[in-house]
Amino acid sequence: MTTVFLLVLYLGNAPQQSDMYFYDINRCKYFATKISKQPPVPDTKKRYTGICKPVKINLKTNKATIYK
């Protein structure tokens, strides 16, 4: 098992499907910050928010891409 950081996205209060994993929390936080600074979605006026959540994954069985 390896600990990685999952970029979790929310639109308003609703979590969105996310599968972006990072080895480095600073890299994950970079993208979370950029997403959170975007203007609201025009139709709904809701904003995207990004957070980084530590998760454990098994690299042998999980075929997810983990970004550096």
Q: What is the DSSP letter of 6?
A: E
Residue 41: other Cβ atoms inside 10 A:
12
Q: What is the pTM of this model?
A: 0.89
Question: What is the pLDDT averaged over residues 4-28?
Answer: 97
For 26-66, what is each residue's pLDDT tens digit?
A: 999 999 999 999 999 999 999 999 999 999 999 889 888 99
| pLDDT for 55 | 97
| pLDDT for 39 | 96
The structural domains of the chain, with segments of one domain joined by +, span: 2-58
| pLDDT for 62 | 87
Please name the residue that has the structure tokens 């069985």. Answer: 61
Residue type, position 4, single letter = V
